[in-house]
Amino acid sequence: MLEGEATNRAIVLSKVAGNVPLYIVHMSASEALNALAEARHEGLNVFGETCPQYLYMTLEDHLARPGFEGAKFVCSPPIRSKHDKHDHHGDLWKGLRMNELAIVSTDHCPFCYKDQKELGIGNFSKIPNGMGGVEHRMELIYQGVVQGELSLERWVETCSTTPARMFGMYPQKGVIAPGSDADILVWDPNKKTKIGINDKHHMNMDHSSWEGTVIDGKVDTVLSRGMVVIENDKYTGRKGHGKFIKRGLCQYLN
C-alpha cells in the first residue's frame, strides 16, 4: 500500500511540474504497478523497472529464514509476502508483458554476509541494504520465457533494446545492425546452469542470493564490439577494451 502511495505521489508531482520525465526503480508491489499503468495510459512520461528478487522471492521463503540468514535478502523495497491479497509476482510479470514495466534491473549491492551483513546482528538498522545480482539478471529473466511469462522477443527487448533506448544509447547499442556496435550474446537454450558459490559465481561476494537455483539456458559466447570476450566459460577480454559511452536523451519521451 505504501509503495503504491509513494509511486502515485511521485507521478502527481511529475504531472503538475509539466509532465517531467519520471523513472521509478525497484518496483515490487501490485499497487505501485497499478499507479504506473494508469499514468502510462494517460500518456505521461513515466517509466518503471523491477528487479529479479521481486519476480521470484517471498518474505516467507527468504527474509524469514532461520537465524540471521534472512539478512542476505534485506533490500528496498522489501520482498513481498506470498500471502498478500495481491499476486505481486504475477502482476509484475504481466506488467513486463504489457510494457507497463520497461526494464528489469538488479539494484546490484554486493555486500558480503561475513563482516558486512553481520553488522546488523542485534540491530536490524545496521544491516547493509541490498543484494548482489547483476551476474544473473539475464538468466533469471529468461526463466520467464521458459515459464511462459514472456516471449523470447520481449526477453531481448527487456534486456537490451529497451535499456539502450531508455538511456539514450540506441542505435549504438541495443540492436544488431550496420553501424551499431557488434555486442552479441549467443545463448544456448538447451543447457542448464546451476547458480551457487561453488558453481557459477563470479561476483566478489561470499554468498549467492540465488544459491542452488538451476537455470534453463546458458551463455555460450559473448562479443563486445566484435571481439570475443567470453567463450567456453572463460573471460578472454583484454584490459583497456572498455569504452565510455556518453548517454543521450530517453527515446520514449512524448
Residue 175 lies in a domain: no
Residue 189 lies in a domain: no
Q: What is the CATH number of the domain that holds 79?
A: 3.20.20.140
Please give the average per-residue pLDDT across 201-207, as a whole number: 89
Residue 213 lies in a domain: no
Residue 184 lies in a domain: no
Check whether 79 has a pLDDT greater than 90. yes
From 175, 191, 186, select the one nearest 220 (Cα to Cα).
186
Residue 119 lies in a domain: yes
Q: How far apart are CA 85 and CA 124, in angstroms?
A: 27
Check whether 148 has a pLDDT greater than 80. yes
Residue 174 lies in a domain: no
What is residue 202's predicted lDDT score, i.e. its pLDDT? 85
Total-model pTM: 0.94
**DSSP-H helix ranges across 86-195:** 88-97, 137-146, 152-156, 162-166
What is residue 159's predicted lDDT score, i.e. its pLDDT? 95
Which amino acid does the sequence have at 64?
A
pLDDT above 70 coverage of the chain, percent: 100
Segment 151-177, tens digit of pLDDT: 999 999 999 999 999 999 999 999 999
Residue 39 lies in a domain: yes
Residue 136 lies in a domain: yes
Structural domain of 126: 2-169
Q: Residue 230: is it exposed, middle or buried by C-beta count within 10 angstroms (0-12/13-18/19+)? A: middle
Q: How many domains does the chain have?
A: 1
Please give the average per-residue pLDDT across 180-184, as a whole number: 96
